[in-house]
Amino acid sequence: MAQNFTSANASIPNGNLGFQCVKPFDLFTLIVNAISFLMNSLHLCIILRLETLKRTKYRCVLINIILADITNTFIMILLFSCYDFFTFNFTYGEPELRIPIAVMLIPSNYISFHVFLVASMEKYLAICKPFSYESSRLVTRLPLNFFIIWLYIFVFGTGFAVIEAINPIAGMSAVGYVVLRTIVFAIAPNLLSGILLTKVYRELNRTRSQSWNSADDSEKRKAAMYLIIIFTLEMIVFVLNSICIIVLYCTGELVICKIWNGFIKAPYTMLNTVIYGWRTQSYRQYVRKVIGCNPRQVGNAEG
């Protein structure tokens, strides 16, 4: 989710900051993010192994959602290894320190929003425009489109991070930068995704009483509902994150963001794996076979 750790009201820590690493709360948050990183990595391995997903567009969508979570949790692991060091230097450090920290933090916080946008467009075509789905350039070039989105967010996100770090725009405060990049990199893609998924949800409700002609149609319906569920959760987290940032800028109290990351944001990144496993029987069967350490059964598991 979109975050910023600067504050006009934040006070400079007393004494030599150095690398004041791994305080108790930071250690807790670090552990939660590490667990989330491992769960998403395992989730990715299972998705790659499930045979029936290999010929679907849904697989590409799932992989990119997982990679967005893995990227974010990895950055959070680095951040909470030395939270005070990164926070201090992002706020008060020289450009040679602020720029790489900003480049590391900002793009990773917004990539999930853009991944959801491409995924929402794919689901809109699959449910609302089924006759033009297979011929759509978005669908036929789905991996390329995801690659373009990743490239876009890291190129433009990095550029914006550099601008924010060196503060070249006269008269624009840190709050102004946060508002501007939130509108560009968060609110705009979220609004488009919300509109598309609302139309998908209405179409699913409209056709609920109809019988689906094939197992493929049924899977598309399940995939759409999965995306709607996790996007809704993402928006709840985004709103809570915005409240956290407002409180941070009003009070300069960094512990608010630490509580946010430890108890809400990091656990949320585990929900994708839990929700998908709960809704997918073949996934649960695969996990049970992996836990049972039966290589033959694992090799024969189907998605």
Instruction: Enumerate the domain spans of the chain.
Output: 24-300
Q: pLDDT category, 102, cuts 50, 70, 90?
A: confident
- Interhelix angle 24-49/57-81, rounded to 10 degrees, is 160
Q: Please indicate whether residue 165 or residue 237 has the higher confidence score (pLDDT).
A: 237
Q: Which has the closest alpha carbon to 277: 34, 32, 47?
A: 47
Quick one: tokens of 189? 């893609």
- Measure CA 24 to chain center: 26
Contact (CB, 8 A) for 196 and 120: yes
Instruction: Please count the CA atoms within 13 angstroms of the CA of 103 that sit on its side-chain side.
Output: 11
Contact (CB, 8 A) for 248 and 7: yes
Which of these ranges, 42-56, 91-105, 159-173, 207-221, has the smallest mean pLDDT? 207-221
Most confident of the ranges 3-7, 78-82, 103-107, 254-258: 103-107
Which of these ranges, 54-63, 217-226, 249-258, has the smallest mean pLDDT? 249-258
Q: How far is CA 44 from CA 29, 207, 275, 276, in A?
A: 22, 32, 14, 12
Q: Which residues contact 127 (CB under 8 A, 6 or more apart)?
A: 200, 203, 204, 220, 221, 224
- Residue 55, pLDDT score: 81
Q: Is the pLDDT of residue 189 over 80?
A: yes
3-class DSSP state of 14: coil
Q: How far is CA 57 from CA 77, 119, 152, 260, in A?
A: 31, 10, 21, 34
Q: Is the pLDDT of residue 216 over 50?
A: yes
Which of these ranges, 67-76, 99-108, 130-139, 231-240, has the smallest mean pLDDT? 99-108
> Average pLDDT over the chain, rounded to whole?
78
Quick one: tokens of 7? 């504050």
Q: pLDDT category, 30, cuts 50, 70, 90?
A: confident
Rg (CA), the chain: 21
CATH, range 24-300: 1.20.1070.10
Q: Is the pLDDT of residue 195 over 90?
A: yes
Most confident of the ranges 138-147, 171-180, 264-273, 286-295: 138-147
255 burial (CB, 10 Å; 0-12 / 13-18 / 19+) is exposed
Per-residue pLDDT averaged across 252-262, rounded? 67
Per-residue pLDDT averaged across 178-186, rounded? 84
- Residue 228, pLDDT score: 92
Most confident of the ranges 27-36, 68-77, 191-200: 191-200
Most confident of the ranges 5-9, 155-159, 228-232, 236-240: 228-232
Q: Is the pLDDT of residue 14 over 80?
A: no
Per-residue pLDDT averaged across 55-83, rounded? 86
- Measure CA 66 to chain center: 8
